[in-house]
């Protein structure tokens, strides 16, 4: 049997707990999924999944309350204390797992630091060890919005993980098809870029990730992360606020994208946008996205190559 995590989670336990807590949180009204419909929009050789929100009223009301509290100088942190109905499991001495209250994808989880750490800080070995524990159970897409300009909506540090399928029709993750088109990059020495992505990014394969060993996996993930950001031009002596970025991670690869703004016109973009999944509020935004082109939107919010 594979070793358990430091928190005592045996293989399969986390996924089981996520499913059980989802039922509980739905019954209690703590989990409030956002209904969407979707369509695909193609540009630049990438087939983008675009979700159109059916009803954002509840989340908009919650966001408005948060904004008013912040304007009044009141601290706002939904993760400290967290809603116990959204609690899934302790992952490690430093991290716990929560359900994403306003989820679009089923079983979307948050990997949150127990004590407050700012989202505008570099990821650490402890962050990646906690992520590795979750990834051992869930072969999904993990991501991190590194700062407000990268789409972060909460200051308390948290990674996110969505299980497959990200696309409701069970088609491959759009970004994965771009990486597959690169051919065999396993033997490439260092980060590479795709000629199909017209913005400042870097891709690194993850070879033989030891998922049954969170400590070893965490070290490999941390090394890959530091390699990618160094390749993109990070000055590690500077504040992380000077380098907003998105990070996307699967069991097979890691991708980093350098950012310069959180939205283009009215269309917000976080890490999932670079995975090939965008979210619009209404039909007007959908038409705007179609007229601009989703790849063009990504190009506008990311840093330019050499920038």
Domain ranges of the chain: 13-301
Q: What is the pLDDT of residue 3?
A: 36
Q: Sorting pLDDT into bands at 50, 70 and 90, what band is 171?
A: very high
| CA torsion, ordered 171, 144, 102, 155, to nearest 10 deg | -170
Rounded to an integer, the average pLDDT of 155-171 is: 95
Inter-residue contact 158 to 119 (CB < 8 Å)? yes
Out of 30-39, 65-74, 187-196, which region has the weakest mean confidence (pLDDT)? 65-74
Rounded to an integer, the average pLDDT of 91-115 is: 97
Task: Read off the pLDDT of residues 215-269 as tens digits, 9 standing for 90 and up.
Answer: 999 999 999 999 999 999 999 999 999 999 999 999 999 999 999 999 999 999 9
Q: Which of 59, 57, 218 is nearest to 134 (CA)?
A: 218
In a 13 Å sphere around the CA of 301, the CA atoms on its Cβ side amount to 28
Task: Read off the pLDDT of residues 259-288 as tens digits, 9 standing for 90 and up.
Answer: 999 999 999 999 999 999 999 999 999 999
Name the CATH topology of 13-301: HIT family, subunit A (3.30.428)
DSSP 3-state assignment of 112? strand
């Amino acid at each position: 049997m594979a070793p358990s995590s430091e928190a005592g989670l045996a293989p399969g336990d986390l996924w089981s707990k996520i499913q059980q807590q989802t039922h509980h949180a739905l019954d209690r009204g703590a989990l409030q999924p956002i209904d969407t419909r979707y369509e695909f929009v193609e540009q630049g050789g990438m087939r983008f999944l675009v979700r159109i929100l059916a009803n954002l009223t509840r989340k908009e009301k919650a966001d408005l309350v948060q904004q008013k509290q912040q304007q009044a100088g009141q601290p706002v942190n939904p993760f400290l204390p967290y809603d116990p109905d959204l609690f899934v499991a302790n992952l490690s001495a430093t991290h716990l797992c929560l359900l994403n209250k306003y989820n679009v994808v089923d079983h979307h989880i948050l990997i949150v630091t127990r004590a407050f750490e700012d989202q505008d800080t570099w990821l650490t070995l402890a962050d990646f060890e906690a992520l590795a524990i979750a990834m051992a159970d869930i072969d999904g897409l993990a991501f991190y919005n590194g700062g407000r300009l990268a789409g972060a909506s909460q200051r308390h540090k948290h990674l996110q993980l969505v299980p497959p399928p990200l696309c409701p029709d069970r088609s491959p993750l759009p970004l994965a098809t771009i990486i597959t088109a690169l051919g065999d990059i396993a033997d490439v020495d260092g980060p590479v870029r795709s000629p199909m992505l017209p913005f400042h990014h870097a891709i690194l394969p993850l070879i033989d990730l030891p998922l049954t060993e969170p400590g070893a996996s965490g070290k490999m993930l941390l090394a890959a992360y530091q390699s990618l950001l160094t390749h993109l031009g990070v000055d590690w002596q500077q504040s992380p606020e000077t380098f907003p970025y998105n990070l996307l991670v699967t069991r097979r690869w890691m991708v980093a994208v350098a950012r310069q703004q959180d939205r283009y016109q009215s269309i917000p973009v976080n890490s999932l946008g670079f995975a090939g999944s965008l979210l619009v509020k209404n039909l007007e935004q959908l038409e705007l996205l179609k007229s601009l082109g989703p790849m063009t939107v990504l190009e506008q919010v990311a840093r330019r190559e050499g920038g």
